[in-house]
Structure 1
């Protein structure tokens, strides 16, 4: 546990860093900042249509995972759709999990993978050429990229096991992963990497990351949760809040020009407590709120019977978004819906296959965003999950296997094509293109 004195010092640092960052950003051309509860770029509202491209650094790498020609094609496709904001992964930890990616940015030592770091340099430079902004997340609650469980394995904090292990039914995995926030040794390892990443100088442009306006924000993790069960998660809340405050303050001290956010799913990733969402996003060093919407995963729309359950599930999604808009307004901070998705018809994975309900879901989500933007609300944009582009499953069962290099937006823990959008998904691409035109016209 962290001392009260350390907490007070971190809180003061967060307030000071947040204030300094806000003042600096006001005079920083090309940097996205917060102004009057909204995202702003060069004095004008910053509204965007975005996508998730977690594997950008892998494609940009000069190493075994690299395919810079494909990276260029994917960015061109996204730009043509009107997508101007990408959420990408800037971390990855070696893991024995069967569904984990490889290579990764780091192992338990300090010999970070220079190929992937150069890959991150490349994707940022290529995005800059196309006028795109990046959100870089630096950890993961889930083990498909190693994530928090990898750190716990390195420090010997309890028995390591992978997500989905039948010997450890839900919510054991979430409770295990959430030990990370209170593990001092794990925090030391994580912060060493964080300092190296945020303090990096690009090998492509020669520009320090802190001076690169291509980066919109640093993100603490993909879907950080305080735990899965009430028994573990509720007592862990103070530690979770402290981790958010201290880590965001650290990033601000290293890089006062960029925004910082959490990567939270909202109440569904916060023990279904809206008060938890509020508390997690209170620090001055947290610039805006994030929200993820997953009706299939949360049991709101039955993936085995989408036609019969869609309407009721959509109503829950609408309500979920509306309630988080209200939370953002209450905090006076912007809101970004940075993940949302729905499976294909009949749980198929074929590029170009029917996506009737997914397209309907996208239109609904985009409609909510457009309405809030027109009303002057806090919603600044979306990042749909996720961009598969020309990537394709390499195996008949559509599952990722170690060594595969045809990366798609569906991470290794899911079938390749389950939620992701392929370049052949014409109807979904049309929905995104239509939304981009609507946002541009606001």
Structure 2
């Protein structure tokens, strides 16, 4: 039986391919690498602009293992393609260790014997992304605990570690403790060894080295790296040295691809404009990244979105404009690569309404589009994140060990909090309209 949703999806796939000029599923075509030219990202002879999504769990679905689901990965990529999404941000790392709420399996443990099943899952995901004419940003570790991250690297070398959210270690002890990583030569060496392994890897599905694959848009140093939790604990020379040193390492291994930090921007830089500028001013860093989380930052109250939305909108607009100004000053492109908003009433239920979430998406899209149309640095947006067809079976909306319904909401967060489900038709329509508008700029 052919239902209305499948008919609409098929039409959207064709419309998306026509609108973006990208390779339709089932075909392969040589594509130029994405490069930087001043404030613009360029692919071939035209600017590269996009509406994208975060799909951190792509490699897990791509794994040939009980926790993998390649058929679902194909369906999710098709859905995203149908909505005009041409750029995905995915995790190419996860570190298994002692921290609570970290996803398992990971790509590595303390040993240099990396998880080949997970790496093969990444290969499969990248092959499917390439087959659909999409590009991906591959993130190489995490500041936060949900995929292991920097604290796990510290545990590997015998340093004291703490869990995020442990009441014995209230905020900002976790980010302050994490900042020890940047100056720990042994921890950084383990991380760099993993970076070398992934960047120089040959995809076992396509037979193509990652450094020669135009489906890779960029390598990313880390998800949301922060110099510390407060200025008193920030060892900025160590942090800057890690940023530039890692980026230069990647460039020495792969001359074809962009490198980005994964920074939130000002919120991840202790609200210091000088820190944002310095970490993105290195020649080794190709573009700025910005993350926008009004609910996490208490700019809005998810239990009272009608009463707090307007305040949040003002603060979001100011935040984005500040980063546009920094990017213009540095003459580099900018990507709003994470932005998330709760469902109405703070519900995690896919059936809950999304009036204010859609308004927030419209705001971010409008700011990005206006800047791009004016010749500014904004190249694209990646919403956080794609839940797709996943639905939690747990009444507490929490991720439990052994769950296989991977969502854009990571395992430390309520399942359904910020992610976009396949039934969120109004949000998908907004993303599709943004994709068309960004592509039409020329």
Hey, what's the Cα distance between the residues in 1 that align with 2:292 and 2:344?
A: 18
Partner in structure 2 of residue 221 of structure 1: 222
Q: CA deviation at 1:59?
A: 0.3
Report matched runs for 1:10-409 at 5 Å.
30-158=32-160, 160-233=161-234, 236-409=235-408
Is 1:439 the counterpart of 2:438 in the alignment? yes
Hey, what's the Cα distance between the residues in 2 that align with 1:66 and 1:251?
A: 29
Q: CA deviation at 1:401?
A: 1.1
Q: Report the 3-state secondary structure (helix = DSSP H, G, I; strand = E; otherwise coil) of the residue aligned with 1:281.
A: helix
Q: Report the 3-state secondary structure (helix = DSSP H, G, I; strand = E; otherwise coil) of the residue aligned with 1:101.
A: coil
Hey, what's the Cα distance between the residues in 1 that align with 2:173 and 2:303?
A: 25
Hey, what's the Cα distance between the residues in 2 that align with 1:121 and 1:49?
A: 23
8 Å Cα contact 1:99/1:401 also seen in 2: no
| Number of residue equivalences | 412
Q: CA deviation at 1:97?
A: 2.7
TM-score (norm 1): 0.92
8 Å Cα contact 2:99/2:152 also seen in 1: no
8 Å Cα contact 1:353/1:425 also seen in 2: no
8 Å Cα contact 2:38/2:333 also seen in 1: no
Partner in structure 2 of residue 413 of structure 1: 412
8 Å Cα contact 1:394/1:400 also seen in 2: no
Hey, what's the Cα distance between the residues in 1 that align with 2:116 and 2:99?
A: 23
Unaligned runs of 5+ in 1: 1-27
Partner in structure 1 of residue 19 of structure 2: none
Q: CA deviation at 1:350?
A: 1.3
Hey, what's the Cα distance between the residues in 2 that align with 1:67 and 1:120?
A: 13
Q: CA deviation at 1:53?
A: 0.1
Hey, what's the Cα distance between the residues in 2 that align with 1:348 and 1:255?
A: 44
Hey, what's the Cα distance between the residues in 1 that align with 2:314 and 2:401?
A: 39
Hey, what's the Cα distance between the residues in 1 that align with 2:180 and 2:381?
A: 30
Q: CA deviation at 1:29?
A: 5.1
Q: Residues 385-433 of structure 1, C-alpha deviation per residue, up to 9 Å, x if partnerless?
A: 0000001113111100111111000001110100000001122112212
8 Å Cα contact 2:100/2:145 also seen in 1: no
Q: CA deviation at 1:361?
A: 0.3
Q: CA deviation at 1:353?
A: 1.8
Q: Residues 101-139 of structure 1, C-alpha deviation per residue, up to 9 Å, x if partnerless?
A: 110000000110011100111111101111000000001
Q: Residues 182-224 of structure 1, C-alpha deviation per residue, up to 9 Å, x if partnerless?
A: 1111011111111100000010011111000000000000000
Partner in structure 1 of residue 17 of structure 2: none
Hey, what's the Cα distance between the residues in 2 that align with 1:150 and 1:207?
A: 31
**Regions of 4+ moved over 4 Å:** none
Hey, what's the Cα distance between the residues in 2 that align with 1:426 and 1:37?
A: 33
Q: Report the 3-state secondary structure (helix = DSSP H, G, I; strand = E; otherwise coil) of the residue aligned with 1:88.
A: strand
431-440 vs 272-281, which moves further: 431-440
Hey, what's the Cα distance between the residues in 1 that align with 2:252 and 2:437?
A: 38
Hey, what's the Cα distance between the residues in 1 that align with 2:365 and 2:97?
A: 36
8 Å Cα contact 1:265/1:292 also seen in 2: yes
Hey, what's the Cα distance between the residues in 2 that align with 1:96 and 1:308?
A: 41
Aligned-CA RMSD value:
1.0
8 Å Cα contact 1:140/1:222 also seen in 2: yes
Unaligned runs of 5+ in 2: 1-29
Q: Residues 159-179 of structure 1, C-alpha deviation per residue, up to 9 Å, x if partnerless?
A: x12110011000000101111
8 Å Cα contact 1:210/1:255 also seen in 2: yes
Hey, what's the Cα distance between the residues in 2 that align with 1:402 and 1:162?
A: 17
TM-score (norm 2): 0.92
